[in-house]
Structure 1
Amino acid sequence: MVSSQEAAIMEREYQKWFSPNLNRYMEMLVFGREGVPVIFFPTRAAHFYDLENWRIIDAMREKITSGEVQVFCVDSIDEESFYSNKPPRERILRHLQYERYILNEVIPFVKQRNKEKQLAVAGCSLGGYHAVNIGLKNPKIFNKIVGMSARYDLTKPLPFFADLFDGYFDENIYFNMPNHFVPRISDKKLLKQLRNLDITLAIGQDDSFLPDNKRLSDSLNAIGVPHNLFIWEEEAHRPRYWREMVKLYL
């Protein structure tokens, strides 16, 4: 644990390296020096610094400075994948490259810097999708998943939100949409791993993504995976709500 004098300062570190998986430079901010590491995804088309700018990191200051958590704010490439003008097949393939960047570059970096055995993943809005998707697909790697104000089927058009694949569907899309693949999980070993996860879904009662969250919650219940679904008042899809959520769930 950090000393009381050190606790007054929240350590902040900037990182940048060339990603061979993405063939481009990627940036990151790290907050804190020890504690349970949290890989935190930004919202749609946002960047690694936005969580700090929106004071979401500051809302976690006490947990960070006390050494309870260490937060790794990763960057997004959503504008090169889901929100690009590429053909739908290329959009999901670019997303898979991003996933390999997280699994093969970010996580080894985290493990090198932090010797804690636990690893959490979190995100807001589309970042929540990223967190829940990668967490449920890799239950041996993660211990805790927190998805806030997220959508778990990007193929389903909603008011003000399009099908991000324009009607196209393939195996890669299927295995990256939790509301598609979760209901059909039957492997006993995988189910056992999933049942050991600490899973939290948080969504506003007026959020367009509420049905998506209820569907995922129902699917997890159906396969016997414990989790929490918290439904907040109003839409709750803004930084001022996420600042409160991280205090409760991370």
Structure 2
Amino acid sequence: MSYQASHAVKRAYQKWYSPHLQRDMELLVFGDGGKPVLFFPTRTAHFYDYEDWKVIDALAPKIDARELQIICVDSVDKDSFYNKELHPSERIKRHELFEKYILTEVLPFIKQNNTNHQIISAGCSLGAYHAVNLAFRYPQLFSKVVGMSGRYDITIQLSFFEDLFEGYMDQQIFMHQPTQYLPHIKSEATLDKLKQLEIIIAIGETDAFLANNLLLDNILSEKGIQHEFFIWQGEAHKAQYWSQMVQLYF
């Protein structure tokens, strides 16, 4: 069961104009010390949803104890992956602008406000994709990554989840699909950085993304990249389960 906070944790709202995204971007910071957790929202969701869904309440003891500081960022999924008015090649370019926003705006903001630079990248559902893809592309920037209920190839077509690029593929899209690009990493320096990353992947046994998670587990094992892989009972693709997962994995 998730922990119900008896009092509100320290909470700060932030908004600034992003030069990369050419729009205002908002985020919430919970706590004022401890390891920073860069927490990506679910598919097309927002920076306040984990708070509304009581996932933050589940972390209240660790936030209050200054073990963790949670930074909930907003998404631009509707402008990128889910913007059907754009050609797929433009959708991935929009996503790369979001990546630049995270790397050159959010991460410096975190480091300016927290002396603990052991940053954790985390997310649920499509947020897990964002968290894992970013940490695998830039492992030197993170100490740990936690992916919950994610799919790590958004080009795969599933019964209720479409290929977000509608069959189109180019090099940029390929380089943002972890289960596609990981097998091709040959650089020992890159592999060494990935091996230093603490990796936790969790998925429900009936989740539509299970097969893709099993593939990721196999790829990491074949590459000699140590990680923890957990399969939960049922689908486990809802906030009540994520509230339990964050207590175990953060």
Q: TM-score range by the shorter chain?
A: over 0.9
Q: What secondary structure does 1:89 align onto? A: helix
Contact 2:34 2:69 in 1 (8 A): yes
Aligned counterpart, 2:78: 79
- Quick one: distance in 1 between partners of 2:100 and 2:222? 29
**1:184 deviation in Å?**
1.1
**1:82 deviation in Å?**
0.5
Deviations 1:162-214 (A, max 9, x none): 11001100011111000100111110001111101100000000000001101
The letter for the 2-side match of 1:32 is G
Aligned counterpart, 1:43: 42
Aligned counterpart, 2:139: 139
Structure-to-structure mapping, 1:1-250, within 5 angstroms:
10-85=9-84, 86-250=86-250
- Quick one: distance in 1 between partners of 2:66 and 2:137? 28
- Quick one: distance in 2 between partners of 1:23 and 1:34? 30
- Quick one: distance in 2 between partners of 1:30 and 1:117? 15
Q: What secondary structure does 1:202 align onto? A: strand
Q: Which ranges of structure 2 fall in alignment gaps of 5 or more residues?
A: 1-5
**1:117 deviation in Å?**
2.5
Q: RMSD of the alignment, in Å?
A: 1.0
Contact 1:8 1:65 in 2 (8 A): no
Which moved further from structure 2: 79-88 or 26-35?
A: 79-88
Pairs aligned (count):
244
Deviations 1:209-233 (A, max 9, x none): 0011010111111111000110000
Q: What secondary structure does 1:236 align onto? A: coil
The letter for the 1-side match of 2:58 is A
Contact 1:33 1:70 in 2 (8 A): yes
Q: What secondary structure does 2:139 align onto? A: coil
TM-score, with structure 2 as normaliser: 0.96
The letter for the 1-side match of 2:204 is G
Q: Which ranges of structure 1 fall in alignment gaps of 5 or more residues?
A: 1-6
Contact 1:150 1:203 in 2 (8 A): yes
**1:8 deviation in Å?**
6.1
The letter for the 2-side match of 1:64 is I
- Quick one: distance in 2 between partners of 1:41 and 1:8? 24
